[in-house]
Amino acid sequence: MGRVGLREDDLEERFVRSGGSGGQRVNKVSTCVILRHRPSGIEVRCQQERSQAMNRVLARRLLLARLEAQRREQLHAEAQRLARIRQQRRRRSERVKARLLREKRLVAEKKSLRREVRRDAWE
């Protein structure tokens, strides 16, 4: 599995004022970084640090982690789909076929016992 690469052209970066604790500095300086990956539409928001530069680095790491998780999920889904197709195409052994037919016969017998009894059959 290859690593996901980030191209700067694909990123849209915005800076807004952080919220929460941090005093006047947080209220005056736009240290919160919102990073959006255009092709996938994934958006991350980072305001962990007081410095904008550090938040930019952390936002990129977070975005990369989310993109890798999404890619892993897609690869896993594709592997499951292929495994399901492989399972469906696989030939059944004679023993399995015989067991399936035996089970079918038992179900058919059960169902035949559920039928309504006709009165003219008794007379």
pLDDT tens for each residue of 10-46? 899 998 887 766 666 666 778 889 999 998 899 999 9
pLDDT greater than 80 at residue 122? no
Residue 41, sorted as left (phi over 0), alpha (psi -120 to 50) or beta, turns out to be left
CA distance 56 to 13: 9
Q: What is the dihedral of CA 95, 97, 100, 106, to 10 degrees?
A: -80
Reported as type and span, the H/E element at residue 45 is: strand 43-46
What pLDDT, in 10s, does the model give residues 96-108?
Answer: 999 999 999 999 9
> Amino acid identity of 71?
R
**Which residues lie closer than 8 Å to 71 by C-beta, 6 or more apart?**
1, 4
Q: What angle do CA 53, 50, 56 make, to 5 degrees?
A: 25
Mean pLDDT taken over the chain: 87
User: Which pLDDT belongs to residue 1?
Assistant: 42
User: What fold characterizes domain 9-89?
Assistant: Double Stranded RNA Binding Domain (3.30.160)
64: pLDDT confidence band, cut at 50, 70 and 90? Answer: very high
User: Which pLDDT belongs to residue 26?
Assistant: 65
CA distance 7 to 11: 7
Q: Per mean pLDDT, which range of 1-5, 13-17, 91-95, 105-109 is the poorest?
A: 1-5
CA distance 69 to 78: 14
Domain boundaries in the chain? 9-89
